[in-house]
Amino acid sequence: MKPLLGITLKVLSALAFTLMSAVLKTLTSRYPVGEVVFFRSIFALLPLLAWLGWQRDLINAVRTNNIPGHFLRGIIGTCGMYLGFAALSYLPLHDTIAIGYASPLIVVILAALLLNEKVRAYRWAAVAIGFVGVLIMLSPYLKIETFTGSLTAGPTLGALCAFIGAFCSAGAMIQVRRLTATEKTGAIVFYFFILASGLSLCTIVFGWRMPDREDLLLFVVGGILGGIGQILVTHSYRFADTSVIAPFEYTTMIWALLFGWFVFGDLPTLTMVTGASIVAMTGLFIVWREHHLGVMRARDLEVTSQRTGG
């Protein structure tokens, strides 16, 4: 385990994904979400194949004996991607990303339940406080009339898509963690992009439109950024526990605020900033707590070794 390396890869992946979201947000209002998912996935293969070719291990890198595991990860991840892009079409960039902050909190819960990772009382308390922050972020979108039959396309639907997408993202992270035990990074990312491309291609029957040259270039750039981000985030889970790496998803808010302001002219509301800050602070507390416990464990092992003469 190399936590610092895992965290660094996670932070870089967060930057790549935020750039991708900013690029593709400009397309979600003009193209069906399924078409956006398809081009994002198919062009994401470019950096992956280039990376595997540079390693000169393409065939071995994509060899697998766990097709069902990749298929499950593909379904969950594609659903999360679809919901995320749908949310981008209704919400500002920073709001979509901020609501997605529920995902790392859900990962902590799923890691304890499904991966048997040890989660202590302090981290459970941080998760509970973090969900309070998530509820604050969602509060402007969850009106009373939403639950009386008047849910229509708009910000409320976008917020719900972002929140449900956070559950899918958390499930995908857990499945990636399982796959890293036996599968190479190249195989995990390759089969995800193939499955996501195939599943999203099925939506062509609902009507796609041919992109012009400028939009096609944006699709290519968005896909390449997504591919780079996927390689980095998948590789990061090899070097640290899921529940340690997940909180660094919060660094996306820095980039989202900058891109949202300078590119789209959007500024977050006080409610959104308050909720996102609470969630981010709980994530940072989790990281600090885990670091503190790691130092204590290392010190105890050193003392034990000295006493036993090891």
Provide the mean pLDDT of the chain. 82
The whole-number pLDDT of residue 145 equals 52
pLDDT band per the 50, 70, 90 thresholds, residue 106: confident
Looking at residue 294, its pLDDT comes to: 65
Asked if residue 23 has pLDDT above 70, the reply is yes
With bands split at pLDDT 50, 70 and 90, how would you rate the model's confidence at 147?
A: very low
Cβ contacts of 261 within 8 Å, gap of 6 or more: 267
Mean pLDDT of 57-65: 77
In contact, 222 and 38? CB cutoff 8 Å: no
Looking at the 3D structure of the chain, how many domains does it have?
Answer: 1
**Count of other CB atoms within 10 angstroms of residue 134:** 23
- Structure confidence at residue 196 (pLDDT): 93
**Contact in structure between 76 and 168 (CB atoms under 8 Å):** yes
Task: Find out whether 29 and 158 touch, Cβ atoms under 8 Å.
Answer: no
- Full domain range(s) for residue 128: 3-308
**What tens digit of pLDDT does each residue of 108-120 get?**
888 888 877 777 7
Give the model confidence (pLDDT) of 250-283 as tens digits: 777 777 877 777 777 777 788 888 888 888 788 7
**In this structure, are residues 109 and 166 in contact, taking their beta carbons and an 8 Å threshold?**
no
Indicate the pLDDT class of residue 306, thresholds 50, 70 and 90.
Answer: low
How far apart are alpha carbons 119 and 108 in whole angstroms?
8
Does pTM top 0.75 for this prediction?
A: yes
**pLDDT-above-70 percentage for the chain:** 87
